A and B are shown apart, each in its own frame.
Chain A
Amino acid sequence: MHVSVDQDRCCSSGQCVLAVPTVFDQDEEEGVVRLLDADPSPELDEKLRTAAALCPAGAISLTEVAR
């Protein structure tokens, strides 16, 4: 799964950090989402789907990658 984030949409709820802390982090000042890993291992796919569904601002996009 390829992950991308839209920092402008982010409302700093922190849901993504709670769901997948190895992939998402928050900027120190305003809490805006920071992507730590745009192409995480496939074992995280389910957690990434949860993170995307939990994001209240729709700031996380997932793209299936052919393997």
Chain B
Amino acid sequence: MTSLHEPPHETAELFTFPQPRATGCPFDPPPAQRRPATRMALWDGAPCWMVTDYQDVRTVLSDRRFSADARIEGFPFFAPGRRAFIRDEPAFIRLDDPEHQRLRRMMTGDFLVKRVDQLRPRIQRIVDDALDAMIAKGAPADLVADFAFPIPSLVICELLGVPYEDHEFFQRQSRLVLDATAGAEQVKAAMDDFNAYMTELAASKKGEEDGIVARLASREDLTPGEVASNALLLLLAGHETTANMTSLSTLVLLRHPEQLAKLRAEPELVKGAVEELLRYLTIVHTGLPRVAVEDVELPGGAVVRAGEGVFAMIAAANRDEEMFGAGEELDITRDARRHLAFGFGVHQCLGQPLARVELQIALATLVRRLPGLRLAVPFEQVRFRTESLIYGLHELPLAW
């Protein structure tokens, strides 16, 4: 419990990134997040809150007294490079309603549940092709490069109308932009290149109708800057997240052979399994930043004052014992739908129907077609992407 009369920032404990995970527990949130709402100081000394309890996190993400607008004084940037990500004309993720809703609704049409369901045959073909190519190359293969990345990259490129041939360029830019250990100049340079690429692509598609980039570019109520920043966000979010979920999920299943066996025996469990994997892994492991625009008392009792920054740690909230009994355990048969892996509130992931379908098809196909799937290196040698805002794997060497 925090008293209203307590001075705002007496706790000077540092919130550094990456927060170390416990030795031997690469799938569990860092022990530093096992605590109630806590005031901390960021790398630059700026004060902020770290909120980890399920109900507190849900409140921070859905109560409109918390803003996602990075231009508001007090918005927390927990790495020097984060500020560089914010353009003069921000993407909808860093705006509040009504601007957020106006922009978001221009992009929702392609991500409807029914529309995405119609993509299933196409996604299945992409998954099968990637797997065929991986099998043809022979074991050991790198699941990250050969399977996990090509699937969502191809899908989002088709939806956006971005040439897939450029994937090496934008995967490199994405990696830099999302690297929380990169310096501000490095991230800014990567963002500038990325933005120039998208601006040029959008200009060349003006007047065309196919693909999201063309449709955004053809709107008269958007500036070229708005088109570029929003299209860029979809491209970035569309492939990095699903790719890392696919590789991490595969590794987790290999480490839980009884769960893998269950999924093999009952393929119809895949939808629930994907929800549980989303909960268990929560790859946006660095949390979601917000700034309070009014004083708010959280359900857990902490009082966040107007102008104070908050990180909502969705990975910790998704292990909440009260919400998810035995939250530390992976159980693909539990009802995990109330997880916060896609965030919560009006900013909840726009692409979640697509992510779900991609993960369901990718994992079901992998499990079905490669019954002998196994790690090709000792587990200790697997390299985790701890430095990235999106948790994942650098490579996943597999045999079958």
Contact = CB atoms under 8 A, between A and B. Distances in A.
Contacts of A61: none
A30 interface: yes
B112 A12 contact: yes
Interface string A4-31: 0000010111100111000001101111
B337 A54 contact: yes
Interface string B103-123: 011101101111000000000
Given A12-B350, A14-B352, A30-B105, A57 B345 contact: yes
Contacts of A12: 104-105, 108, 111-112, 350
Contacts of B343: 56
Interface string A24-44: 011011111000000000000
Given A28-B109, A28-B112, 19 more contacts: A11-B345, A11-B346, A11-B347, A12-B104, A12-B112, A12-B350, A13-B342, A13-B349, A18-B353, A25-B114, A26-B112, A31-B109, A32-B105, A53-B338, A54-B337, A56-B62, A56-B344, A56-B345, A57-B348
B348 A11 contact: yes
B112 A57 contact: no
B186 interface: no
A26 B114 CA distance: 8
Interface residues of B, number: 25
B113 A11 contact: no
Interface of B: 61-62, 101, 104-106, 108-109, 111-114, 337-338, 342-350, 352-353
A8 B246 CA distance: 34
B113 A14 contact: yes
Contact of A26 (B113, B346, B348, B350): B113
A11 B97 CA distance: 10
A9 B105 CA distance: 12
B337 A14 contact: no
Interface of A: 9, 11-14, 17-19, 25-26, 28-32, 50, 53-54, 56-58
Contacts of B108: 12, 30-31
Contacts of A9: 346
A53 to B, nearest CB: 6
Contacts of B61: 56
A34 to B, nearest CB: 11
A50 B348 CA distance: 17
Contact of A11 (B104, B106, B114, B338): B104
Given A54-B338, A56-B62, A30 B109 contact: yes
Contacts of A58: 62
Contacts of B101: 11
A10 to B, nearest CB: 9
B396 to A, nearest CB: 29
5 contacts: A9-B346, A11-B104, A14-B111, A28-B112, A31-B109
A55 B104 CA distance: 17
Contacts of B353: 14, 18
A31 B62 CA distance: 19
B104 A13 contact: no
A31 B104 CA distance: 10
Nearest to A59: B346
